[in-house]
Structure formats: structure tokens, C-alpha cells
Amino acid sequence: MSDSISGTDILKELAAILEARKSESADTSYVASLYAKPDKMLEKIGEEAVETIIAAKNEDKGNIICETADLWFHTMVMLAQKGLSPDDVLNELARRFGVSGHDEKASRK
């Protein structure tokens, strides 16, 4: 990643690309094919989560990064499909900042 591009800029750019893929053909776009099969999209999130866990258990930092990128990507596809954006998640994280994890979880009940 270039030093001039921030992580949030990358998330915004990727979100815009994912939004544009909604009008693409499932035959030519991997993302459009996931939009066409929501269950497959959700399966990919689960698959990538498991692969991330395995990479972490194996203490393979390079693979942890790659698998986490896959997990984030597929999660962003799901967010876009649901009409949500990375900003929605970042805003929720900001809301939780400085709040005990135990207190935050209890507040959701």
C-alpha cells in the first residue's frame, strides 16, 4: 500500500467498486456472482473466517494477513449487498471506543 493512501480511503474505494459490481453480469464478475447467490456469499465469509483462524493457530503472519484480507473483502461484499458501508461499521467501532467490552455487550441485550 502506498504511504499516501489511507486504510479508510482503500475501504471507500473498494466499497465504490463493490457497489458498481451490482450492475455487472454474474458471468463476468466474481462479486456480481456473489450478489446473485447470497447463501454462497455467506458461506465464503464463514470459509474465510475458518481459514483466518487456522492461519492464526499456525502463527503464519503472512497467511494471517492474506486470509484476513479475504475475510474483510467478503464481509464488505455482504455489507454492500445489504446496503451498508464500511463507514457504518467504523461508526459503530467509534461509538464503542472507550467503552468496556463487557459493558458494550451487555447493552445489546
Domain annotation covers residue 105: no
Provide mean pLDDT across the span 71-81.
97
pLDDT at 1 over 70: no
- C-alpha distance across the termini of the chain, in Å: 39
Lowest mean pLDDT among 11-20, 32-41, 77-86, 97-106: 97-106
Domain ranges, residue 86? 7-97
Question: Looking at residue 49, what is its pLDDT?
Answer: 98
pLDDT category of residue 94 using cuts at 50, 70 and 90: very high
Output b/e per residue, 75-102; b: 16+ Cβ within 10 A: bbbbbbbeeebbeeeeeeeeeeeeeeee
Domain annotation covers residue 2: no
Judge whether 67 and 48 are in contact, CB under 8 Å: yes
Number of structural domains found in the chain: 1
For residue 61, the one-letter residue type is: K
The backbone region for 93, taken as left when phi is positive above 0, alpha when psi lies in -120 to 50, beta otherwise, is alpha
Domain annotation covers residue 103: no
pLDDT at 109 over 80: no
Provide mean pLDDT across the span 97-108.
84
For residue 86, the one-letter residue type is: P
pTM listed for this prediction: 0.86
pLDDT at 84 over 90: yes
Domain annotation covers residue 16: yes
pLDDT category of residue 52 using cuts at 50, 70 and 90: very high
Q: How far is it, in rounded angstroms, from Cα 96 to Cα 101?
A: 8
